[in-house]
């Protein structure tokens, strides 16, 4: 007897926009109840869509701006983005509660352009933001922190560079990584600091690849507080995703997370509470995903979709508690770009064994102990 077909790991891709040249910079987050929130730009404006019980809402305009990013705390969406006002780019904050977006609030207040913000939340709900700012005449990394009803921000000591990312661990420690050149003609390297918003460690070079550009860093914290940083590394035009993680106060030697034959770029990483690392990236004209078991062993590469003219800008999020994976990407087609979404079943699915009833013909029935895994 043939076995029934296995359940597909990924849902069929859903188009969230029409083909438009102005669609860009998607971001995604998932609430504790499983509601998916998506932000993206269309021309000069930012739009929001949400999915509950497999039903997507209509697009809702949030504000004028670019490069939105978000974090979901409980059922509240917190978002930051860049916006040009009065001839200068600033970082703005908004939140979504009870079906409404708040009025924008300026977080940066610097005289130079502020761009590429990222946002994360501490366990107590404190919000942290990092962005790149050229106020001193060159690009530096700023950190902003919410304190009660106001925000404070300052540049990271020695934090010269661009493309920041950040994460906050269970103790409230902030981890920030970014890219920078050691010299004007040198290669890009990945740098990292940690701190509490007031004091910071000195920047550390994690990539240490003077012959190859290391770009597009991503940071995530595994259960137990182990910090992981991933990036794309260019070896003569061929990219691989590399990563390193902490062992106590030290960092491991960077290792490749993608097969050497793949030209992998734009990594996105996230952890489940089980210690499963999810990795998404772009390879050629394909969107790819793989996960790593808690012991670090890699699972097979999963190819979601491919675009004839190119795909880009993946965005990855996990559902808290149940740990489904959610992925966005842009597919370039004739007439513009389309924003797609797909959902994956949990990487480690719990199996429940129902206790068996053992019948003793000479005694009353007994129940054997069950087990779950």
350 band by pLDDT with thresholds 50, 70 and 90: low
pLDDT in tens, 132-187: 999 999 999 999 999 888 899 999 999 999 999 999 999 999 999 999 998 777 89
pLDDT in tens, 176-187: 999 999 877 789
Domains annotated for the chain, with CATH where assigned, are 14-367 (2.120.10.10)
Q: The tokens of 303 are what?
A: 């190819």
With a cut of 60, say whether residue 214 has pLDDT above it: yes
Q: How far apart are CA 158 and CA 371, in angstroms?
A: 53
What is the rounded average pLDDT of the residues 104-123? 96
pLDDT of residue 364: 36
pLDDT in tens, 232-244: 999 888 999 999 9
pLDDT of residue 6: 59
* pTM (2 d.p.): 0.91
Degrees to nearest 5, angle at CA 334 with 330 and 339:
20
Decide: 313 and 329 in contact? Cβ < 8 Å.
yes
Q: CB-based burial of residue 155 (10 Å sphere; 0-12 exposed, 13-18 middle, 19+ buried)?
A: middle
- Mapped onto helix, strand or coil, the DSSP state of residue 116 is strand
pLDDT in tens, 291-347: 999 999 999 999 997 777 889 999 999 999 999 999 999 999 988 999 999 999 999
Decide: 212 and 221 in contact? Cβ < 8 Å.
no
Q: The tokens of 16 are what?
A: 């969230």
CA torsion angle 329 281 301 209 (round to 10): 170
Count other Cβ atoms within 10 Å, centred on residue 112: 17
pLDDT of residue 366: 34
Percent of the chain predicted with pLDDT > 70? 91
Average pLDDT, the chain: 90
What sign results for the dihedral spanned by CA atoms 21, 43, 38, 314?
A: positive
Q: Distance of alpha carbon 115 from its chain centroid, rounded?
A: 17
């Amino acid at each position: 007897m043939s076995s029934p077909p296995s359940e597909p790991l990924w849902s069929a891709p859903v188009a969230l926009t029409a083909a438009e040249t102005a669609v860009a910079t998607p971001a995604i987050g998932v609430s504790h109840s499983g509601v998916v929130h998506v932000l993206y730009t269309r021309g000069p404006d930012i739009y929001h869509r949400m999915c509950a019980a497999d039903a997507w809402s209509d697009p809702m305009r949030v504000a004028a701006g670019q490069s939105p990013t978000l974090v979901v705390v409980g059922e509240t969406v917190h978002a930051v983005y860049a916006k040009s006002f009065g001839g200068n780019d600033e970082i703005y904050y908004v939140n979504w509660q009870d079906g409404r977006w708040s009025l924008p609030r300026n977080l940066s207040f610097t005289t130079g352009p502020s761009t590429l913000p990222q946002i994360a939340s501490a366990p107590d709900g404190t919000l942290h933001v990092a962005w790149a700012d050229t106020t001193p005449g060159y690009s530096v990394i700023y950190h902003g922190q919410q304190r009660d009803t106001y925000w404070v921000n300052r540049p990271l000591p020695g934090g010269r560079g661009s493309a920041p990312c950040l994460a906050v661990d269970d103790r409230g420690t902030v981890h920030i990584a970014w890219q920078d050149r050691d010299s004007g003609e040198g290669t890009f390297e990945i740098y990292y600091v940690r701190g509490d918003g007031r004091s910071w460690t000195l920047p550390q070079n994690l990539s240490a690849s003077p012959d190859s550009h290391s770009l597009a860093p991503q940071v995530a914290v595994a259960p137990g507080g182990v910090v992981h940083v991933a990036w794309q590394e260019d070896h003569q035009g061929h990219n691989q995703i590399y990563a390193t993680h902490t062992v106590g106060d030290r960092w491991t030697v960077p290792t490749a997370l993608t097969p050497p034959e793949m030209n992998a770029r734009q990594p996105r990483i996230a952890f489940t509470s089980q210690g499963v690392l999810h990795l998404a990236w772009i390879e050629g004209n394909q969107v790819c995903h793989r996960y790593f078991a808690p012991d670090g062993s890699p699972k097979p590469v999963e190819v979601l979709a491919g675009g004839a003219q190119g795909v880009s800008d993946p965005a990855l999020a996990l559902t808290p508690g149940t740990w489904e994976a959610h992925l966005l990407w842009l597919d370039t087609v004739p007439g513009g770009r389309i924003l797609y979404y797909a959902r994956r079943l949990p990487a480690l699915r719990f199996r429940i064994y129902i206790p068996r009833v053992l019948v003793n013909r000479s005694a009353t029935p007994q129940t054997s102990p069950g087990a779950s895994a």
